[in-house]
């Protein structure tokens, strides 16, 4: 039989081993926390850059439309596209096949301080195909710093759709697109 002293020493050894494991787990959590905080900062900056670029492209498009159209009236094609787009609300195709990871006006995680989404985010495999949701015209195309991708805006009459963080975009401003 073990003496009480031997049992106490064995117990102390177990407790010290447990403390070392807990210390290692805490150190890993602190390291992971820093990594996650850095990812959140990057994501916040990316969202802000995308939103700023979208606003800039829309303002530029509206400025051009205002200077090229008398009284800022819509062309017959714009009226047709807007009417067709509006009548297809709820029936428009998805731009890509993949799970929606951020819904409109939501955040990835409510506990994380990120701007609310002005659209949806779809998780895609690399080289996935992305298509326009409706016929229209490309009115903006811009590389988004920090994202490694391109953002394009397509106008459908007086409606717009935006596609961001795209890697290989074959469209240019002024190109017409069809679904």
How distant, in Å, are the alpha carbons of 6, 12, 106, 138 from that of 1?
Answer: 10, 18, 64, 84
Task: Select from 92, 94, 65 the least CA-distant residue to 77.
Answer: 65
Q: Residue 61: which residues within 8 A CB-CB, separation 6 or more?
A: 139, 140, 153, 155
**What three-state secondary structure class fits 47?**
helix
The answer to whether 100 and 121 are in contact (CB under 8 A) is yes
Under-70 pLDDT residues of the chain: 1, 67-74, 106-117, 146
Residue 57's pLDDT is what?
A: 87
The answer to whether 144 and 160 are in contact (CB under 8 A) is no
For 122, phi and psi rounded to 5 degrees? -115, 125
Integer Cα distance of 54 and 63 in angstroms: 14
Residue 73's pLDDT is what?
A: 67
pLDDT tens digit sequence for 146-160 = 677 888 888 888 889
Which DSSP letter does residue 71 get?
A: G
Length, in residues, of the chain = 179
Task: Select from 10, 47, 74, 60 the least CA-distant residue to 146.
Answer: 47
**What three-state secondary structure class fits 136?**
strand
Which DSSP letter does residue 116 get?
A: P
> Token pair of 93, please?
């195709």
């Amino acid at each position: 039989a073990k003496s009480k002293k031997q049992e106490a020493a064995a117990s102390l050894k177990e407790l010290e081993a447990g403390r070392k494991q807990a210390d290692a787990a805490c150190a890993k959590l602190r390291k992971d926390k820093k990594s996650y905080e850095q990812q959140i900062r990057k994501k916040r900056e990316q969202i802000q850059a995308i939103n700023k670029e979208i606003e800039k492209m829309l303002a530029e498009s509206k400025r051009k439309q205002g200077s090229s159209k008398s009284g800022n009236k819509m062309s017959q094609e714009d009226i047709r596209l807007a009417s067709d787009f509006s009548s297809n609300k709820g029936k428009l195709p998805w731009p890509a096949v993949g799970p929606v990871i951020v819904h409109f006006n939501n955040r990835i995680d409510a506990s994380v301080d990120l701007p609310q989404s002005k659209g949806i985010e779809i998780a895609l495999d690399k080289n996935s195909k992305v298509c326009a949701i409706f016929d229209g015209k490309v009115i903006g195309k811009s590389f988004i710093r920090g994202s490694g991708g391109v953002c394009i805006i397509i106008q459908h009459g007086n409606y717009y759709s935006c596609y961001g963080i795209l890697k290989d975009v074959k469209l240019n401003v002024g190109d017409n697109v069809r679904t």
